[in-house]
Amino acid sequence: MRIRIDRELCSGHGRCFSLAPEVFDHDDDGFSILKHETITPELDAAARRGAGSCPEQAITLEHD
């Protein structure tokens, strides 16, 4: 699975990196960035948790 963040939609709430720090981080301005673009099975639940927490739906999960 691959994951993307739409930087134009992200408002920097920080929910994704608060709930799934193993997948998401933040930049110097507080906006979400990815630690991994390809999600391994071990990170699947965390990626879904972080994506599901985004109020702007700026995070997209794409199945290979």
Query: Chain-wide mean pLDDT for the chain?
Result: 95
Which CATH code for domain 2-62?
3.30.70.20
Q: What are 45's two structure tokens?
A: 């639940």
pLDDT at 37: 85
* Model confidence at 44: pLDDT above 80: yes
Token pair 């963040």 is at which residue?
5
Query: What is the rounded distance in angstroms from the CA atom of residue 64 to the CA atom of residue 9?
Result: 23
pTM of the model: 0.91
Residue 64, pLDDT > 80, answer no
| Over residues 26-34, mean pLDDT | 95
How far is Cα 27 from Cα 62, in angstroms, rounded to an integer? 23
pLDDT, position 6: 97
Helices (H), the chain: 15-19, 44-52
